[in-house]
Structure 1
Amino acid sequence: MSDSTGPWEPSARVAALLFTDFDGGTAGPDDVIADALDGGYRERSEGLHNVLRDPGEDPVGRFLACVALTRWADPAGYEEVVRSAGAPAAVAWRGASCDRLHGQDDSFGVLADAVGDSADMVEERGTAAERLRAADASLSVADRVQFDRHISSLMRQDVVASCLATMRTAVDRGIARLGGERVPHDLGLQLALMTAAAHSVDDGWSRNTAHRLVEAKPGERALRELSDVMPDLRET
């Protein structure tokens, strides 16, 4: 998980839930979240539900709670992802995580990783449908917020097959943005990763869209991703 901007200290309850391992030692949230997958999530989930629901809690703490619950395939985590995607500019925790290269907000990218990786927990939790709804909501804003390569976490076969209509709409809007405004992040890469992933589900749409994306000059990173899947694009 990327470091948040500026100095930050967790509240006491967030520290206990996400900065303390299951032996009582100090740990980082990534390690705690991973260790909890074996069942430890059960003893931390209720406390994180309370953090997530508390508007008085620090936004970074609420964001970390959402990441943990989402990674554990918890319905509350997925619900928060859907809610946040509904109004991404208004989310209190925007900026809670920033990419190291440009210092830009990548909080939705971190959540995309959590949604995608939670595939290994949905059978145990009975939340496969909730995961797909969270993935669909995330993809619906892929033309508006930064995901960068995190978008690949959502490009699993089940998600692509279920969310293809949403992906098409987001990619179409994104191509229009590339042609009409300066976008501060690498939108072209995100669109290319989505377009390339759709290749195995809808080859015709993927190829047609890839050509339209190339015409919009999406950048070198995007072109490499497209040509890896559709080598003939190099000849156009």
Structure 2
Amino acid sequence: MPDTASRWEPDPVLRALLFTDFDGLSAEPDDVIADALDGGYVERTQGLVTLLGDENADPAGRFLACCALASWADPIGYAAVVEAAAAPDELTWRGQTYDRFHSQDDTFAHLAEAVGRSRDMVDERGTAAERLEAARALIRIADRVRLDRRADDLLYPEIVSACRADLSAAVDRGIARLAAGAPLGFDLGVQLALFINALAESRPAWAADARQRLAAARPGDRALRELAESGGSSLRLM
């Protein structure tokens, strides 16, 4: 889970839901969310749904609630991801988490991770279609928000197969933004490279062209390394 400000403390409700394990001991949200996959999510879900829907609640708490619910393949969690992606710049709980190395907002990176890794729960919950729509919503804004390498969590075969057009459109928009020199504040190139590589098998001609276009847009060393590893070392030299 994300880092929060050093002085931030969860309120009693959030502490009980995501900072207390199933033995009643203090724990981190990551551990609580993972442990709940064995069935404990049932007793924590309603409290998190209430917290997520409370516009007066702590934004950090609402964000963590969304991550937990999406991780558990909950339809309300997935719906919240879709809603967040529909207006990312207006999201009240955006900016509650920052990458510790680059101090960049990674709200949507954590949502991508939650949606992608909920794969093992969708059969139990009957929410495969809702997961797909949440993934699609995030893919559609991947040229605008930071996903970084957590973009890879959206690239399971079933998502790639259903979202080919959305992935390629996001790449095309992202390359155009890079080529125009638009200020971004995050490494767009690396997540575009991951999308291109994911489509290489099903759309080889498009992927080869997209690699060349992305490399020409000077996407940064990390993206060039990603492209070179999958598409040929000559791309490093452009």
Band the TM-score falls in, shorter-chain normalisation: over 0.9
Partner of 2:203: 202
Shift of 1:93: 0.9
Shift of 1:2: 2.3
Shift of 1:96: 1.1
- Match of 2:37, SS state, is helix
- Match of 1:70, SS state, is helix
Residues 152-203 of structure 1: per-residue CA shift (max 9 Å, x gap): 1111111111111111111111111101123211111111111111112211
Partners of 1:224 and 1:22 in 2: how far apart? 43
Partners of 1:185 and 1:82 in 2: how far apart? 22
Matched, 1:231 2:198: no
Structure 1 residue ranges without an equivalent (≥5): none
- Match of 1:9, SS state, is coil
1:1-236 maps to which residues of 2 (within 5 A)? 1-180=1-180, 181-231=182-232, 233-234=234-235
Partner letter of residue 129 of structure 1? A
Which stretch of the first structure deviates more once superposed, 220-229 or 65-74? 220-229
Shift of 1:5: 3.3
| Aligned residues between the structures | 236
Query: What TM-score comes out, normalization by structure 2 length?
Result: 0.96
Partners of 2:8 and 2:95 in 1: how far apart? 12
Shift of 1:233: 4.3
Query: What TM-score comes out, normalization by structure 1 length?
Result: 0.97
Partners of 2:28 and 2:85 in 1: how far apart? 26
Partner letter of residue 197 of structure 1? A
**8 Å CA contact retained: 1:226, 1:233:** no
Partners of 1:233 and 1:182 in 2: how far apart? 27
Partner letter of residue 224 of structure 2? L
Partner letter of residue 171 of structure 1? V
Which stretch of the first structure deviates more once superposed, 29-38 or 2-11? 2-11
Partners of 1:154 and 1:199 in 2: how far apart? 16
Partner letter of residue 82 of structure 2? V
Partners of 1:2 and 1:18 in 2: how far apart? 13
- Match of 2:207, SS state, is helix
Partner letter of residue 22 of structure 2? F
Partner letter of residue 202 of structure 1? R
Q: Give the 3 Å change call, closer, same or farther, for CA 233–75 of structure 1 in structure 2.
A: farther
Shift of 1:20: 0.5
Partners of 2:128 and 2:202 in 1: how far apart? 20
Structure 2 residue ranges without an equivalent (≥5): none
**8 Å CA contact retained: 1:160, 1:201:** no
Which stretch of the first structure deviates more once superposed, 84-93 or 197-206? 197-206
Partners of 1:166 and 1:192 in 2: how far apart? 15
- Match of 1:200, SS state, is coil
Partners of 1:63 and 1:136 in 2: how far apart? 19
Residues 121-140 of structure 1: per-residue CA shift (max 9 Å, x gap): 00000000000000000000
Which stretch of the first structure deviates more once superposed, 150-159 or 133-142? 150-159
- Match of 1:159, SS state, is helix
